[in-house]
Amino acid sequence: MQQQKKHIAILGSTGSIGTQALEVIDQHKEYFEVEVLTANNNADLLIRQAIRFVPNVVVIANEEKYQFVKESLANYPIKVYSGTDAIAQVVEMDTINLVLTAMVGYAGLLPTINAIKKGKHIALANKETLVVAGELITRLAAENRVAILPVDSEHSAIFQCLQGEWHNKIEKIILTASGGPFLGKDKEFLQHVSKADALKHPCWEMGAKITIDSASLMNKGLEVIEARWLFHVPANQIEVVIHPQSIIHSMVQFTDGSIKAQMGLPDMKLPIQYAFSFPNRFANDFPRLDFTKYTSLTFGKPDTDNFRNLALAYYALDKGGNTPCILNAANEVVVDAFLKDQIGFLEMSDIIENSLSRMSYITNPGYEDFKLSNRETIAYTKSLIK
């Protein structure tokens, strides 16, 4: 049966996930159409994307670049808007079926909330949305009968393993982690690493923020929190395992002891396509896994003594309330500072821990509480950076 064409809004179209999503759409034009493209600052690439895909709307968050984008697209039937408010509003358009949230960080929260309230299904690449406000987002999704389709490779793997198994009880979820570029390194080594070192991920090509998070294991910590809300399992049933080859993307263990794993080469286009095409699988020309070239798959425990961010994420999830929001806000500040050479690699964990201990705790936060916690944590964390 022919699948009805999906009209997709891509929030963050110029980033790593957004550009790969457009490659997927380009390969399956009979199934997908670009309705909205948004970018934060990369006006040049946004313009090129808009000319190629001719969406209904484009939004550039940086208002200073609005006139440039508008004039560049004057000869095309494309509406051009600017500002973060516009991004949060365009997701409500009636013509949109699916919203890919590929924005970085806290900025993805409000557009996701607005899209859910308007009944748009979400292809979720912005894990921070569930880290900050997992309970709120999952409740809104249930109330509006909206599907949240994970795009992170690990959560897509779990989602795929659970197809046909929703009636069976999960014993535990096993999130795999490559270990990043500093796997096996001690504190003495980590004290002297540079941002250039941290940006050399051994398996994945990603944006700068998520690459640093992967090097510090914060990305895996955020994924633990995301998994808790996506799959409704407590923290003590989510295990992280180091798997340097990144061939097994994650696993699910059921109460009978059986384990299902989803495997493949490290290529984000596959989970993006699966989120777009679900519940169907479409043929593609992506590289295939050749087992004869991967004769050894290894596994180990994460080192939370030298990479403390993973332990801090478990702490935030266990405490609940607005604590994960504080964790996320502090992390966004320290990653930015590390990328600007203002602090060292190990200082990121120290500063995050300080912020977690000092910010006000809210047991049952709402959206306004998240806004306040995010703003206050950013201000306080910045004050700790000399």
Render pLDDT for 237-294 as a digit per residue (tens, 0 to 9): 999 999 999 999 999 999 999 999 999 999 999 999 999 999 999 999 999 999 999 9
Last residue of a domain, one of 128, 150, 172: 150
Predicted structure pTM score: 0.93
Within-domain flag for 279? yes
Phi, psi dihedrals of residue 102, rounded to the nearest 5°: -115, 20
Within-domain flag for 109? yes
Within-domain flag for 243? yes
The pLDDT value given to residue 3: 65
The pLDDT value given to residue 386: 77
Domain shared by 315 and 167, yes or no = yes
Q: Are 201 and 180 in contact (CB under 8 A)?
A: yes
Q: Are 34 and 6 in contact (CB under 8 A)?
A: no
Residues counted in the chain: 386
Band the pLDDT of 1: cuts 50, 70, 90.
very low
- In whole numbers, what is the pLDDT of the chain averaged over residues? 95
Radius of gyration of the chain (CA): 20
The pLDDT value given to residue 255: 97
Q: What is the mean pLDDT of residues 4-23?
A: 95
Q: What is the mean pLDDT of residues 47-62?
A: 98
The pLDDT value given to residue 207: 79
* Domain count across the chain: 2
Render pLDDT for 207-247 as a digit per residue (tens, 0 to 9): 788 899 999 999 999 999 999 999 999 999 999 999 999 99
The pLDDT value given to residue 208: 87
Long-range contacts: 57-63, Cβ < 8 Å, 24+? 57/81, 57/90, 57/93, 59/83, 59/86, 59/87, 59/90, 61/87
Q: Are 238 and 134 in contact (CB under 8 A)?
A: no
Within-domain flag for 67? yes
Q: What is the mean pLDDT of residues 17-36?
A: 96
The answer on pLDDT for 140 being more than 90 is: yes
Q: Are 3 and 280 in contact (CB under 8 A)?
A: yes
- For β-strands 248-254 and 170-177, DSSP reports them as antiparallel
The answer on pLDDT for 353 being more than 70 is: yes
Band the pLDDT of 204: cuts 50, 70, 90.
low
Domain shared by 136 and 176, yes or no = no
Task: Compute the distance between CA of residue 111 and CA of residue 232 in angstroms, rounded to an integer.
Answer: 23
Band the pLDDT of 2: cuts 50, 70, 90.
low
Band the pLDDT of 163: cuts 50, 70, 90.
very high
Render pLDDT for 342-351 as a digit per residue (tens, 0 to 9): 999 999 999 9
| Domain range enclosing 108 | 6-150
Within-domain flag for 27? yes
Please report, for the domain that includes residue 25, its CATH number: 3.40.50.720
Band the pLDDT of 311: cuts 50, 70, 90.
very high
Burial class (CB in 10 A: 0-12, 13-18, 19+), 162: middle
DSSP 223: H
Task: Compute the distance between CA of residue 365 and CA of residue 349 in angstroms, rounded to an integer.
Answer: 25
